[in-house]
A and B are shown apart, each in its own frame.
Chain A
Amino acid sequence: MPVGPYQSPLAFISDAELDAHHAAQPVDYQAAPQPAGLKLRGVEKRFGDNLVLRGLDLDVPAGQFLAIVGKSGCGKSTLLRLLVGLDEPTGGRIEFVDEEGEAAEPNSRIVFQEPRLLPWFSVADNVAVGLGDGVPKAFGRREAERALKGVQLSEKSKEWPSKLSGGQRQRVALARALVSRPGLLALDEPLGALDALTRIGMQDLVTNVWRELGFTAVLVTHDVAEAVHLADRVIVLDEGRISLDLEIPRDQPRRHGDPVLAELEGSLLDTILGKA
């Protein structure tokens, strides 16, 4: 299956400028992404008296696409924030492992429900933010252009974010997360605010970049259909515990309306709503 017109932000060209830069400043921006696996042991998160996560054990192999679903307030967003280091667990531990199972330092990124673009930066500059500080300007600009091409927004690179539609803004946010080639990409209901058709386009885009770049993806969503469509594996979180762990036995790309997926979706919904 060809992956279409998608161009990897990883597909670096080694032209003279870049070589010169690397000679002068031996930082390895081109390091291949190391998908980071996750090992959670008894992870607990407490806000005051409120125990949001109750001793989670979870193994996510490197490169897997994991979806976490559950009712609102089940702790799925809290878990995601722990995974990318936005919060610290109050108990248990989170370890990151590489493909061989060795401990690894993950390069993790998160995409939120709202795009969180800097309105005073152009689209390309917003994407370049993803490369972090101290990156040479010319390099940053070229990488940003490349990542924008990846999310099919090249023609918007010089626009202000305020000129973009909601779906386009979210694509910029995705490009910003991908430009640094993360080993772990956390997606916190990234498509929640989009209309149905834009959503389908974005789902395909997410599938494409994941297949292309091979990072570990953790998607939090309340849309069970979306979880089943995108993920290798879906876990259901209920009152801070994993109440269901389900493999999705279908190769990507998946067709919308696949009966096997529809059946999985139904049983997942039953579990979440407590009818099973």
Chain B
Amino acid sequence: MTTVDTFSEGRSLRRIREDRTPSAAIGYSDPPKGAAEKAARANDGKPRRPRSVSGVALLPFLLPVTLVLLWQAGSSFGFISDRIMPSPVAVVAAFWERLLSGELARDVGVSGARALSGLLIGGSIGFLLGIANGVSKLSEQLTDTTLQMLRTIPHLAMIPLVILWFGIGEEAKLFLTSLGVLFPIYLNTYHGVKNVDRDLIEMGRIYGMSGWSLFRKVIFPGALPSIFVGLRYALGIMWLTLIVSETIAANSGIGYMANTAREFMMTDVVVLALVIYAVLGKLADVIARTLERAALSWNPAYQR
């Protein structure tokens, strides 16, 4: 009796195993695998690491570090006026001072909470609408055109109206941030659901999935890569909206900190606010990316 393991299958199994050997992992992929590995071990019995790994890892930081050094040198030698631009050292000093006084933690905390609640509210609405319109024809016909129309209005253009509605309190910021993140999440969720492989959905139905189980096992995971794109896009809009709304009117938060500093010509604090925004933005993106990697580990594009 012939067994299934014809040698063609056997060969592909072997190929997969070979791909996992350390020699392949560090980039030797030429045929005489054994030889390459032997050469790699020749030094002191350990596989040799490519020499340039640390250099490559540091390369992206070369430019910003050089710029900061030039900036500091320009300030120190008096080429750049303190009124125009504080020196990096002054920014660090301002950071330290505000950290010790506890103002910084409070302002960052307030801004962070605003950003997060806006994301949560707007994101949930966008997500639910995206799912509903992706799954249900009726819901799509009811709301999609309206949403597509509203989407084209720059949400920051609503500021005058929002101030009239909510004054300058928390509601105004929450409303603007929610509105800003709603659309990218809606669009990408909707797009993701619409583009789930029809064949997989048919397969799911054949195997008795319907409603919730079809959603959980097929539609949601299929839409997830697109949803993550929407999330990362929304994070950018979230910070942008928050900065603008905090700068216009606020009595706490990073934008408030920067605006107050402007009135007193404290350029170091203004720049500090910019740096904090940059760090928070990057942090949010890193978190989103980590989540993405964890959730999409099945996808070859996200493996390793």
Q: Which residues of B contact A (CB under 8 A)?
A: 1-9, 12, 16, 199-200, 202-204, 206-209, 213, 217-218, 221-222, 224, 296-300
Contact = CB atoms under 8 A, between A and B. Distances in A.
Contacts of A95: none
B221 A112 contact: no
Nearest to B12: A165
**Dominant SS among interface residues on chain B:** helix
Given A3-B1, A120-B222, A168-B12, 17 more contacts: A1-B1, A4-B1, A116-B202, A120-B296, A129-B207, A133-B208, A161-B298, A162-B298, A165-B12, A168-B9, A176-B207, A197-B6, A201-B5, A204-B1, A204-B4, A253-B1, A253-B2
B201 to A, nearest CB: 10
A205 interface: yes
Contacts of B7: 197
B199 A152 contact: no
Nearest to A202: B4
A195 interface: yes
Contacts of B297: 160
Given A4-B1, A201-B9, A204-B4, A130 B299 contact: no
A110 B206 contact: yes
A118 B4 contact: no
A250 interface: no
Interface of A: 1-5, 84, 86, 109-110, 112, 114, 116, 118-121, 129-130, 132-133, 151-152, 160-163, 165, 167-168, 171, 176, 195, 197-198, 200-202, 204-205, 208, 253
B134 to A, nearest CB: 17
B1 A195 contact: no
Nearest to B7: A197
12 contacts: A110-B206, A116-B203, A118-B221, A161-B298, A162-B300, A165-B9, A165-B12, A167-B8, A168-B12, A200-B6, A201-B3, A201-B9
